[in-house]
Structure 1
Amino acid sequence: MTTHAAPVDRFDRRLLAPMILGSILNPINSSIIAVALVPIAVAFGVPAAETAWLVSSLYVATAIGQPLVGRLVDVFGPRRLFLAGTVLTGIAGVIGLLAPSIAVLVVARVVLGFGTCSGYPASMVLIRREAQRTGQESPAAVLTALAIATQTVAVVGPTLGGVLVDLGGWRATFAINVPLAVAGVLLGLLVLPRDEAVPEAWRRLARLDWAGVGLFAATLVALLLFLMAPHVATAWLLGLAAVLAAGFALRERRAADPFIDVRVFAGNRPILATYARSLLAATVSYGYLYGFTQWLEDGRGLSASGAGLVLLSTFLVGILVSVTTGRRPEVRAKLLVGGVVQVVVCAGLLVVTGSSPVWLLVVLAALIGLPQGLLNLANQNALYFQADGSRVGASAGLLRTFMYLGAILASTASAGFFGRRADTGGLHELALFMLGACVLLVVLVVADRSLARVGRAEADARP
């Protein structure tokens, strides 16, 4: 419960702390595991490829949970879902801390994926409500802070993870969620405005499109199982995923209150393009985050904390770029520059070897920070202008779904190219895969003329 009235003409900045904390829980957990994968593989005596499940399981849970929780936020309010998700995050931390096997760790990551789904869509709904209350069409500073929290801060995960692994072992990367969850619950209770009562709440919950949720989940699981072991013998999984996806689309077109309103997206090409860009950008950024980090430890021989320190330059550059460009509402230039720099970095990864000097690795890490700071911010701002106001929570959740679909592609590609060890040959193959994704991203940006209109009215109104 808030302690005093919010200012009438400006964004209530008391909301920033819980919004940012809730939004970082997923990206921090997405990336903090990167430096723990090698120690976990050693602890349980499993190959590097098997630890990919620790990455993919969280992303599958998140890809399913983001649009679902976003829809629940639209229906039941951001405060309720924020608190429920934060509690679930703390439970996942306890499970990971006590896990006796890698299978239980996978369960912890699934719970973590669902628990951390609520922060971002809840924040986007709160931003939209504050914009309506204050009359500010686009609270650029708040959107910038949220972009830093949801993507750029993710890059500090390996650095934080390296410190935690050195201090308390790999289990500390799970245990950190317990104090974060406690802080989130306290902030949510003290700061977030109470949600309005929802008449017939349980009946409305039962009427949600659970058949659509099930088909969507089954499609993702079938696709993931194929991507984890692509082979002629498993091609039937790809066919099953296609059939399930067709069934899902048919179901959503006929549902009275669909889980994902495919009819809206079919008539909104700009938002579909935003989702596609988010998927491609995430494929490259998470391919770098996981593949490059594992290679730094296995192929280059750095410690977990050493690998984290190399990636610290990515975080610092990403923060700087987000802060300096965040108030500009235009997105096309940000997307184009970010995509081109991704191409340059992926080309640079093709020439590194196990004897490459650390300074070169730091330079590459710093360069990737530029698109890290530009692309997520630009896609988020584009979504803010393109989404239907009545479904902004679901639309924001779906943006994260596409981002994590890209992360799933990146993690499964890393597993396929690396095998038992993250060697230099595998890194080069992964870099070629990433290069294809970022070239396609640049092509999509150049071809999308609607991007020129995003934020133009606000920019023209400036003195």
Structure 2
Amino acid sequence: MGARSGAAADTRAADTRAPVASGFGPRLMTPLLIGSVLNPVNSTMIATGLVAIGHDFGVGASSTAWLVASLYLASAVAQPTMGKLADLLGPRRIFVSGLLVVLAAGLTGALAPGFGWLIASRVLLGVGTSAAYPAAMSMLRAVSRRTGQEAPRTVLGLLSLAGLGSMAVGPVLGGLLAATTGWRGIFALNVPLAALALVLALLWLPKDDKDGKDNRDNEEAAGRNSGNDAAAHGTGAASKASLDGLGIALFGATLTATMLFLMDLDHPRWPLLPVVAVLAAALAWWQLRRPSPFIDLRMLAHNRALSFTYLRHGLAYLVIYCVMYGYTQWLEEAHGYSSFHTGLIILPMSLAASVCSVLGARTKGIRAPLTLASALLAAGSAMLLVADHTTPLAALLLAGVLFGLPQGLTSTGNQAAVFVQAPADAVGAAAGLQRTSQYLGAITAASLIGLFYGQRATDAGLHDIAVVSGGLSLLLIVLTAADRALRTRKNSS
């Protein structure tokens, strides 16, 4: 591990000194970066538009929570699916197809005559925007294979920063659009962004190369014959050889049934629980039988360190999204701020998240940043527990900062953990599951907000969110401190 860390450090140093290789220049990266911001910015931009949408369509917080959960449900299934499709069919083709779906979704939301149309738009946005990041990673691998050059670390860093930064500024951008153009502008913004990325992709992105696909086929064949160890862990190129359609369907059905139960916790639909159990059992049975499963349960069982990283990441983002969506609604409905002013109030949260995403990527350890992130989440939860509609502006800004700082630390810390804990030939698949755990946290957060707020955000509802967030933050501290893998691994990622 020491030799590997030293080599990685040398590689990073060389990458930071060297200019971007010609194959990874602006023509390649510009459309990829524009496409990669669409999912994270849509995931948070809606936060400061939920109250206005609810007023226009006469629905409460428990209903508008579906606008949050529907995108994350679609993304949780679509992200790993699009990654496999990019490997099988070609990254450019999948990237362009995703942008066409985003165009349709943006128009649907901007012109929606009813609330149900907005839900449909968010589902389409989840599917369409999920194509960009995995297709970008697949394309970088293809360019690296064709040019014989490794993708510079600065290039990978740009993709990571695009996701973190756009997620952080999403609420501010959404507040500005809601105040100036109305909430429909939040959906309409996708049209020019996707159109620009589409034009640049068609002009500048290299076409999917048949020879590259033949090479991948050869690599997959080699992976299938590489030995029982890779098969036992379900890793390697063999895992990409085919698309597990039934596994994807069962996974999506299990998540949908679970979400339907969670989204109405004040009136629980108890008959759904046996349905969830049956679907989950069928999913597990099928995945254990598949040589190339959609979700590799055997690998997760063998790799407990990676499984704990997914758990920590999902719990951390459950807290982060509870506050990101719950806090903004409370500022508008309980405190009386406009969408625009709410966006300005949480601007320090966005700036803190962006700064920490950069600083977190430069840290050498994993355990210390994750522990600090959990402690900051606990401190922020304590502030919300005593906040009410008379809390002064300075305290509101400080609370936002306390929740912004952990966003960057959590994302980069767990990303580094996945990099060192995942099997060397399955880092991409492992990163996709990390993103899925984040979406599951977001879905759960949306259901809790609907339960605690009901038809309107109140001080009491915010305090309930703070109690849950504080308890989960303390649990995160324990999970981080007790994880021996984080204590024993000296990682420089």
TM-score, normalising length from structure 2?
A: 0.84
Alignment of 1:122-137 (within 5 A): 122-126=135-139, 133-134=148-149
Task: Give the unaligned 5+ runs of structure 2.
Answer: 1-17, 218-238
Is residue 68–residue 394 contact of structure 1 (8 Å, CA) maintained in 2?
Answer: no
Cα gap change, 1:445 to 1:17, in 2 (>3 Å): farther
Superposed CA deviations along residues 312-331 of structure 1, whole A, max 9, x for unmatched, are: 10111122222233233432
Task: Select the residue among 245, 248, 271 that pairs with 1:213.
Answer: 248
Mapped partners of 1:370, 1:219: distance in 2: 33
Cα gap change, 1:124 to 1:356, in 2 (>3 Å): same
Q: Which residue of 1 aligns with 2:279?
A: 244
Is residue 88–residue 242 contact of structure 2 (8 Å, CA) maintained in 1?
Answer: no
Give the deviation of 1:239 after TM superposition: 2.5
Q: Secondary structure of the residue that 2:271 maps to in structure 1?
A: helix
Cα gap change, 1:430 to 1:173, in 2 (>3 Å): same
Alignment of 1:408-423 (within 5 A): 408-423=443-458
Give the deviation of 1:207 after TM superposition: 5.6
Task: Select the residue among 364, 372, 381 that pairs with 1:337.
Answer: 372
* 1:182 counterpart letter in structure 2: A
Mapped partners of 1:120, 1:443: distance in 2: 32
Alignment of 1:239-278 (within 5 A): 239-278=274-313
Q: Which residue of 1 aligns with 2:383?
A: 348
Q: Which residue of 1 aligns with 2:114?
A: 101
Mapped partners of 1:170, 1:378: distance in 2: 34
Superposed CA deviations along residues 245-275 of structure 1, whole A, max 9, x for unmatched, are: 1210110111132222222222222221221
Q: Which residue of 2 aligns with 1:177?
A: 190
Q: Which residue of 1 aligns with 2:231?
A: none
Identity of aligned residues (%): 43
Task: Select the residue among 12, 28, 33 that pairs with 2:24.
Answer: 12
Give the deviation of 1:310 after TM superposition: 0.8
Task: Give the unaligned 5+ runs of structure 1.
Answer: 1-5
Cα gap change, 1:20 to 1:380, in 2 (>3 Å): farther
Alignment of 1:382-393 (within 5 A): 382-388=417-423, 390-393=425-428
* 1:47 counterpart letter in structure 2: G
Q: Which residue of 2 aligns with 1:299?
A: 334
Q: Which stretch of structure 1 is more off in the superposition, 127-136 or 417-426?
A: 127-136
Cα gap change, 1:67 to 1:135, in 2 (>3 Å): closer
Q: Which stretch of structure 1 is more off in the superposition, 267-276 or 95-104?
A: 267-276
Mapped partners of 1:141, 1:330: distance in 2: 20
Q: Which residue of 2 aligns with 1:150?
A: 163
Is residue 155–residue 311 contact of structure 1 (8 Å, CA) maintained in 2?
Answer: no
Task: Select the residue among 82, 88, 104 that pairs with 1:75.
Answer: 88
* 2:168 counterpart letter in structure 1: V
Give the deviation of 1:299 after TM superposition: 0.9
Give the deviation of 1:302 after TM superposition: 0.3
Is residue 40–residue 170 contact of structure 1 (8 Å, CA) maintained in 2?
Answer: yes
Is residue 148–residue 373 contact of structure 1 (8 Å, CA) maintained in 2?
Answer: no
Cα gap change, 1:369 to 1:127, in 2 (>3 Å): farther
Is residue 172–residue 346 contact of structure 2 (8 Å, CA) maintained in 1?
Answer: yes
Cα gap change, 1:116 to 1:100, in 2 (>3 Å): same
Superposed CA deviations along residues 56-115 of structure 1, whole A, max 9, x for unmatched, are: 111111111112112222333332222211221111001111111000110010000000
Superposed CA deviations along residues 184-242 of structure 1, whole A, max 9, x for unmatched, are: 213323443433324799xx999621111111111101111111123686222123212
Give the deviation of 1:126 after TM superposition: 4.8
Task: Select the residue among 96, 121, 124 that pairs with 1:111.
Answer: 124
Is residue 83–residue 135 contact of structure 2 (8 Å, CA) maintained in 1?
Answer: yes
Task: Select the residue among 61, 72, 79 that pairs with 1:66.
Answer: 79
Mapped partners of 1:20, 1:334: distance in 2: 27
Q: Which residue of 1 aligns with 2:199?
A: 186
Q: Which residue of 2 aligns with 1:168?
A: 181
Is residue 48–residue 342 contact of structure 2 (8 Å, CA) maintained in 1?
Answer: yes
Mapped partners of 1:256, 1:221: distance in 2: 25
Number of aligned residues: 449
* 2:411 counterpart letter in structure 1: N
Task: Select the residue among 267, 282, 285 that pairs with 2:317.
Answer: 282
2:209 matches 1:196: yes
Superposed CA deviations along residues 7-50 of structure 1, whole A, max 9, x for unmatched, are: 79698243443333222211111111111111111111112211
* 1:349 counterpart letter in structure 2: L
Mapped partners of 2:405, 2:20: distance in 1: 36
Alignment of 1:389-408 (within 5 A): 390-408=425-443
Q: Which residue of 2 aligns with 1:229?
A: 264
Superposed CA deviations along residues 151-204 of structure 1, whole A, max 9, x for unmatched, are: 342121111111111221111000000011012213323443433324799xx9
Cα gap change, 1:359 to 1:140, in 2 (>3 Å): farther
Mapped partners of 2:375, 2:23: distance in 1: 35
Cα gap change, 1:74 to 1:7, in 2 (>3 Å): farther
Mapped partners of 1:188, 1:307: distance in 2: 35
Q: Which residue of 1 aligns with 2:5?
A: none
Cα gap change, 1:385 to 1:121, in 2 (>3 Å): farther
Mapped partners of 1:71, 1:266: distance in 2: 22
Q: Secondary structure of the residue that 2:63 maps to in structure 1?
A: coil
Is residue 33–residue 159 contact of structure 2 (8 Å, CA) maintained in 1?
Answer: yes
Q: Which stretch of structure 1 is more off in the superposition, 288-297 or 61-70?
A: 61-70
Superposed CA deviations along residues 275-312 of structure 1, whole A, max 9, x for unmatched, are: 11210111011111100000000011100001100111
Is residue 360–residue 412 contact of structure 2 (8 Å, CA) maintained in 1?
Answer: no
Mapped partners of 1:143, 1:315: distance in 2: 22
Task: Select the residue among 32, 51, 68 that pairs with 1:55.
Answer: 68
Cα gap change, 1:135 to 1:142, in 2 (>3 Å): closer
Q: Which stretch of structure 1 is more off in the superposition, 67-76 or 99-108?
A: 67-76
Mapped partners of 2:155, 2:368: distance in 1: 20
